[in-house]
Structure 1
Amino acid sequence: MSGPVSLEALLEPFSGLPGIGPRRAALLAKATGGTRIVDLLFHLPDRIAARVRVDHPARAPAEADAVLPITTVSLRPKRAANTNRPYVEIRTEEGLTIRILNGWLQTAERQFPRGERRWVSGKVKPEGDGWSMANPDVARDPDALPVLEPVWRLTEGLHRATMAASMREAVSRLPEDMEEWADPPLLAREAWPSFPDALRVLHAPTAPLGPAPRERLAYDEALAGQVAMGLLRRRHRASSGRALRGDGTLRRAALAEFGHALTPDQAHALAEIEADLAAPHRMLRLLQGDVGSGKTLVAVLSMLQAVEAGAQAALMAPTEILARQHLRTLARLCGAAGVEVALLAGSVKGAERRRVLAGFADGSIPVAVGTHALFQEGVEFRDLALAVVDEQHRFGVAQRLELGRKGEDADMLVMTATPIPRTLQLTQWGEMQVSRIEGKPAGRQPITTRVVSTARHDDIVARLGQALDRGERAYWVVRAITGGEHDDSVAAEDRFAQLSRRFPGLVGLAHGDLDMEVREGALRDFAEGRTRLLVATTVIEVGVDVPEATIIVIEQAERFGLSALHQLRGRVGRGTKPSSCLLVHSEHLSEREKERLLILRDTEDGFVIAEEDLRLRGGGEALGTRQAGQAQLRLALPEEDIARQSDLIDIAHRDAEALLERDPNLASPRGLAVRGLLRLFGKEDAAAYLKAG
């Protein structure tokens, strides 16, 4: 794929720019996360420092950097009283005391020669009878200290002046005109500058900036991502697969064993999956549903369709606890249809492991369930046609695509119990078709959620005792396993000890540091009623199904994410009795923490909670910039602009879909420009299969 010639200079290593030797190049690579000139240009300023020129420290504004003239009277080395670190103290005729932290006297004497006028820039603070300034910029000429100056993120050893000089060289490589990949009516409507102009004004501003330059670049990044996702979707739709058509006998037997009819949402999702499986192309589908929506049943029936067609199916879970939970469900439903299911995980060893591997290889075991061990070397399937991934850990796109390679043209179904806001659906899961289960199965009970202070701890324990006396079962969830010297998180082992004294013989303990057998034993004791109160960490967040549990207490709830709280709450309300969730918070809550907990109190709709979580968490982390396996959104708008960022992704999605519908090979003038855009944002692989031209 060849891009527009005008982009070539931006794709070259910045190590070739004047003044950038090996050491500086290494520092710039660490700060920017890349090695190309465009990677340096994409290292946008965190803010634009606005300076005010004044003629004396007394007239310096409190809220902004000042540029002012000074004349040095004296310099002397000193050490900080509290840290013993060196600094240089400079006194001036104007009553300003300048401190150069970690500075050297000889260097300071060159920068601030006694008796000579210099211009300095920084925050001026009142101090005694005069004023002070720390680590100012200094120049012989005030014009060298611009009124507007970008402030970039730096790394240790990389100074602002060095970054500024390197950035000037990078900006000089921007072409005067470039092929435009954005839709002209969109540019006109939003009044956005061109791509090069947006970068120029952000890295070298000459006037106060509005939102347009940042929005333009955030849109460009979103468009590159959406075009790449669109190309992936089209490649999968075009790739050869196999038609898996069954006669329905196994599915009917499993559903009869289940004992309930499918909900309308389950039936709709299953119909979409059945159609994909029966079609002669590979399926790549995301099944998303709220806690307790019945995704596993849909997955089991889909797997049995593959078995009816004479093939094998496998379900992978992120932990062995969850894999074993799935094994119990699959063994019951598939067993009723006469289909053998086997587990492969780290704990399966010796003769049993050899038996399972042989059964997968010769096809005598049609259904596999396990951890990532299913996809390791040495595991062979006779005919794996469907891979189901219970997706709690958000693998990257490339990792998801790898998982199906154990089977020739295997279809893939990914499940997630975390409701996904539309923005994340487009950015993190955009290569997939989506089925969504919004309703809950019949019989699921509503959950009353209350927000209470830890000051009421004794009252909570007393009421819990009354519930246990009535034969009810309850979870008590905390964040930490053991107490820490520097952390005030409530520890599971401490709470277990306290509650065991209060309710002897009735309390179990489950957390991640326990041996698998011990933890599984605690969960089994709770499920079978030998214990009635389970103290646990978030190991119970998924894969624990105890219909008799009617109460969950979540301590220090403000320290959990909204999605985690919603998942935990979903451990109750699974039986026939009304259920309750107590969100117990620390005594002093911030307004933001209070707002988050009230969202949980006021709704059980996981999709509403997910959208609110995205709004409250902001753009960076929530949009996947820190998710393992995800491409980082380097040019996303600041967190306070998350709503606008979501709008831009939506616009880019519609724009990309319309473009690929009209120009699937990106061969038009705009299509060729978009090819260049993909190269700038490192998306070449997504478009590699396009025909030349």
Structure 2
Amino acid sequence: MDIKRNYEYLLSELKSIKGVGLKTSNLLKRKKINSIFDLLWKLPKSYTDRSLSSKIKDLKIDEVQTITIIPQKYSFPRVRNLPNRVLCKDETGEIDCVFFNSYEGYIRKILPIGKEVTISGKIKYFRNKYQLTNPKYISEDSSIIKQKHNSYSLTEGISEKVYNKIIFQIIKNLPKIDEWHSKDILKNFGNIGWNDAIKKLHEPENIGKFKENFYQRLAFDEIFSTFLVNSEIRKKIKKIKKTKKKFDAKKQSEIVSKLDFSLTNDQTKTLNEINEDLCSDNKMFRLLQGDVGSGKTIVALLSAFNTISSDFQVAVMAPTEILARQHFLLAKKIYPKNIKIELLSGKSSYKDKKKILNKLIKKEIDIIFGTHALFQKKVEFKKLGLIIIDEQHKFGVSQRKKLSDKAGKDCDVLLMTATPIPRTLTMTIYGDMDLSIIREKPSNRKPVKTYSKIESKIEDVIKFIKKEIRLGNQIFWVCPLIEESKKIDHSSAVKKSEYLKKIFPNEVFLLHGKTTIEEKDKILNKFLRNEFKILVSTTIIEVGIDFPNANVIIIENANKFGLSQLHQLRGRVGRGNKESSCVLMFKSNLSENAKKRINILKDSNDGFKISEEDMKLRGFGDILGFKQSGIKNFKLADPIHNHNLFILAEKEIKRIENEKEDIGRFKPLIKLYDRADIINDIA
């Protein structure tokens, strides 16, 4: 069998498996099992040992037993609802095999009179006789029964017996695949091949053996295939030659000198990295990652200014209109008057929008701010040189690649996120991009003081808020739910806003996911203008809007949130030069994990450190914003337990890149692990 047929067999449809018809195939597809390869990652959770055979006289009641018997006599009553029975025996005794809802012909076929049959099931005792009811494991070939049978988390409508039969058939017919890894890599896994690793993965004795060579090797394949695709995307983008941006660094220095704060070392370093990319003839595809309040926006706007100075246009996309407007106003404040700035808003009239679009195509606009509407087909630029996308963690690898392609060869791409994530996740999710990180906070930013308070002491919190309002400050009050729930004992935003309105009349507004976009913008703008003091909200206030006058955030049922989400919420305050506070409220019956989370947050303002701890406590799939990232497609690999494999994969990718090694031998790996659609023209 050649290499093509080797791996392509595994990508075959389920219907190509003997015994899998349309009905079974559709049941499996509901569980996102679409190919033979997909079935390999449906792992057994336990097993039943049917390998040991007993005699009838030695049977143990209520235990699964395997016996070899000879059917003696059928009993097929003509009265409806009575079961069919087959009297069977061995040299030590008798047993009844009882069948409900089974046809006479089927029973005669599986238990032929006078023939030796092996049967397995849970033994019962009824009317002084051993009994087996509706046994599923019956065969004249004892080797089929006398083995260890895996138990799976089954798809409804598929029995364990059928499932085992399917898996057994796949493992038996597993093709020999040529090795794609080097000898040096295989040494790390005891030189085990892919085929042998798969077989061992499904052996009953190996359930839960995550540290063994076979498991580690297969987890490495998942990680490595992702890194390999990311590397190929990076190489493809780097091959794109663009017109170099040329700008005067003195003009940048003039803007920086007029700011009312100094750039941190991290901001300066990151700005230099971006400027270097802009001035290169290679296309920039870079992620700017920074903690909440670390000052990413000013770095992005300075790089945008340098692009404009090079006679190119810039587009800045934000997730919400209010954030786009905030960036727009900051640009107007710091840029020279000759820079032509526009905001494409959902509220703009048709006439105004048409006017803006005409200006863009004529290059009468230097920089435009807006939401995702900026990248609609009708929006055309004369000379787009840089796209900046803020809070982009919902963009997957494929979307980023399409964005880069759409932007054109002369257009650089800068993506920003305020969600610090652990290094293993960064390598996996953003491995297709160059990375700049801002960890350092501006010197004028004071750490947010974090306190915890039991819910029953809410009066203390109210006193604290009254004092803050007297000082002219504003408050965020965050609740997990919109309305009160009888099933879940969490605070509701609606109920809390009603409670607070009685204490602070005309000073409380409510914001939640059901609020219309227009109403939401209206409320947030009022809050920004300090027209009321308390904004009660669900978690929709996470994204990085600046409310310099809001210096207190109350988070109810804090134990119900992950650390990363709590840190993001806390980042809504502490953006001015005032002392800021975060109060975590909780009920008395906290779990040990919840106590740990609250204490970690109280002890640290470092988002990167917090995200590492969050991943250890919650697991990588629950880290804020990454449920849709694609990393959840990993079947075996885990960034916490397999940290060493991520580092090994990174090292191997760098070696391949440095030695400019041909990656043709990895084609089966990329195809099998479903990454081929991204680089489908790979050699």
TM range (shorter): 0.7 to 0.9
Do 2:393 and 2:626's aligned partners in 1 also have CA atoms closer than 8 Å? no
Going from structure 1 to structure 2, the CA distance change for 1:252 and 1:15 (only over 3 Å counts) comes to same
**Aligned with residue 669 of structure 2, among 656, 674, 677:** 677
Q: Which amino acid aligns with 2:542?
A: E
Match of 2:381 in 1: 381
Matched, 1:45 2:48: no
Q: The residue matched to 1:419 in structure 2 has which SS?
A: coil
Spell out, residue by residue over 1:73-127, the C-alpha distance to the aligned partner (whole angstroms, 9 max, x if none): 9999xxxxxxxxx999999999x99999xx74659994998999974446x9999
Contact persistence 2:391–2:543 (CA under 8 A): no
The reply to whether residue 364 of structure 1 matches residue 355 of structure 2 is no
CA distance in 2 between counterparts of 1:39 and 1:61 reads 38
Matched, 1:650 2:647: yes
**How far apart, CA to CA, are the structure 1 residues paired with 2:133 and 2:258?**
74
In 1, Cα distance between equivalents of 2:3 and 2:147: 38
Paired residue type of 2:178: E
1:547 aligns with 2:545: no
Preserved CA contact (<8 Å) 2:289 2:416: yes
Aligned equivalents of 2:228, 2:241: Cα separation in 1? 22
1:626/1:98 CA distance change after superposition, 3 Å:
farther
Q: Give the match for residue 583 of structure 2.
A: 582
Change (3 A) 1:109 1:169: closer
Tell me the distance in 2 between the aligned counterparts of 1:240 and 1:308: 20
* Structure 2 residue 617 is the aligned partner of structure 1 residue 612: no
Q: State how 1:449-528 maps to structure 2 within 5 Å.
A: 449-528=450-529
Asked whether the 8 Å contact 2:557–2:586 carries over to 1, the reply is yes
Partners of 2:291 and 2:419 within 8 A in 1: yes
> How many angstroms does 1:25 deviate by?
3.1
Moved more, 417-426 or 618-627: 618-627
1 CA distance for matches of 2:609 and 2:76? 61
Instruction: Please name the residue that 1:391 is paired with.
Output: 391
Could you tell me which residue of structure 1 aligns to residue 25 of structure 2? 25
Kept in 2: contact 1:386–1:412 (CA 8 A): yes
* CA shift digits 1:457-478 (9 cap, x unpaired): 2222233223323333221111
State the distance in 1 between where 2:522 and 2:426 align. Answer: 37
Q: Distance in 1 between matches of 2:557 and 2:273?
A: 41
Query: Structure 2 matches for 1:270-285, cutoff 5 A?
Result: 270-285=271-286
Q: Post-superposition shift, 1:496?
A: 1.0
Q: 1:349 to 1:180 in 2, by over 3 A?
A: same
* CA gap 1:131/1:449 in 2 versus in 1, 3 angstroms: farther
> What's the counterpart of residue 183 of structure 1?
182
8 A contact 1:121–1:137 mirrored in 2 = yes
Structure 2 residue 131 is matched with structure 1 residue 139: no
Tell whether the 8 Å contact from 1:283 to 1:412 is kept in structure 2 after alignment.
yes
- After TM superposition, give the deviation of residue 455 of structure 1 in Å: 2.0
Between the aligned partners of 2:545 and 2:625, the Cα distance in structure 1 is 27
Distance 1:97 1:412 in 2: 74
Deviation by residue 1:235-258 (Cα, 9 ceiling, x = unmatched) = 111111221121246534543443
- Residues matched between the structures, number: 662
Identity %: 31
Query: Over residues 608-653 of structure 1, what are the superposed CA-to-partner deviations in whole Å (9 max), with x where a residue is unaligned?
Result: 111112222225555998415x26534324xxx6533232222122
Letter in 2 for 1:49: Y
Q: Which sections of structure 1, spanning at least 5 residues, go unmatched? A: 77-85, 667-671
Q: Check whether the contact 2:47–2:204 (CA below 8 A) recurs between aligned residues.
A: no
Give the CA deviation at 1:136. 7.2
Q: Structure 1 residues 514, 182: CA separation in 2 closer, same or farther (over 3 Å shift)?
A: same
Bigger Cα displacement from structure 2, 67-76 vs 336-345: 67-76
Render the CA deviation track for 1:120-178: whole Å, top value 9, x for unaligned.
446x9999x999999975435775445533334433333333332222332233234x3
Matched with 2:65 is 67
| Aligned residue identity for 1:374 | L
Distance in 2 (alpha carbons) for counterparts of 1:75 and 1:565? 67
Letter in structure 1 aligned against 2:287: L
User: Corresponding residue for 1:223?
Assistant: 224
How far the C-alpha of 1:425 sits from its partner, in A, is 0.9
CA distance in 1, matches of 2:188, 2:522: 63
Aligned to 1:169: 169
Distance 2:661 2:237 in 1: 14
Displacement after TM superposition at 1:440 (Å)? 0.4
Residues 303/97 of structure 1: CA separation in 2 closer, same or farther (3 Å cut): farther
Q: Output one character per residue of 1:269-288: Cα deviation in whole Å (capped at 9) or x when no partner.
A: 00000000110111000000
Match of 1:346 in 2: 346
Give SS of 1:684's match: coil
Under a length normalisation based on structure 2, what TM-score does the superposition of the two structures give? 0.86
| 1:31 aligned counterpart, secondary structure | coil
Q: Secondary structure at the match of 2:377?
A: coil
C-alpha change, 1:517 and 1:145, in structure 2 (3 Å) is same
Q: Is the 8 A contact 1:263 1:441 kept in 2?
A: yes
Partner of 1:151: 151
- Give the conservation status (yes or no) of the 8 Å contact 2:424–2:639: no
Describe the superposition over 1:543-589 as per-residue Cα deviations: whole angstroms up to 9, x where unpaired. 32122222111001122222211011011222222221111123322
Secondary structure of residue in 2 paired with 1:644: coil
| Structure 1 segment 192-203 matched on structure 2, within 5 A | 193-203=192-202
TM-score (norm. length: structure 1): 0.85
Give the aligned residue type for 2:39: L
Structure 2 matches for 1:651-670, cutoff 5 A? 651-666=648-663
Q: Give the secondary structure class of the aligned counterpart of 2:338.
A: coil
Tell me, in whole angstroms, the C-alpha distance in 2 between the residues paired with 1:87 and 1:502: 71
CA distance in 2: counterparts of 1:608 and 1:502, whole angstroms: 38
Q: Which amino acid letter does the alignment assign opposite residue 521 of structure 2?
A: E
* CA shift for structure 1 position 264: 0.4
Q: Distance in 1 between matches of 2:511 and 2:544?
A: 13
Structure-2 residue corresponding to 1:79 = none
CA distance in 2 between partners of 1:525 and 1:132 (Å): 76
Deviations 1:420-461 (A, max 9, x none): 211111111100000000000121011111222212222222
Unaligned regions of 5+ residues in structure 2, if any?
none
CA separation of 1:114 and 1:197: change in aligned 2, threshold 3 A: closer
Determine if contact 2:556/2:584 at 8 Å carries over to the other structure. Answer: yes
2:669 alignment partner AA: L
Moved more, 464-473 or 136-145: 136-145
The correspondence of residues 79-118 of structure 1 with structure 2, limited to 5 A, is 104=101, 110=107
Q: Relative to 1, partners in 2 of residues 1:631 and 1:421: Cα closer, same or farther, differing over 3 Å? A: closer
Aligned to 1:80: none
**Hey, what does 1:435 align to over in structure 2?**
436
Distance 1:564 1:269, change over 3 A: same
Query: Are residues 74 and 455 of structure 1, via their aligned partners in 2, closer, same or farther at CA, if it must alter by over 3 Å?
Result: farther
Equivalent residue of 1:156, what SS?
A: coil
Partner secondary structure for residue 546 of structure 1: coil
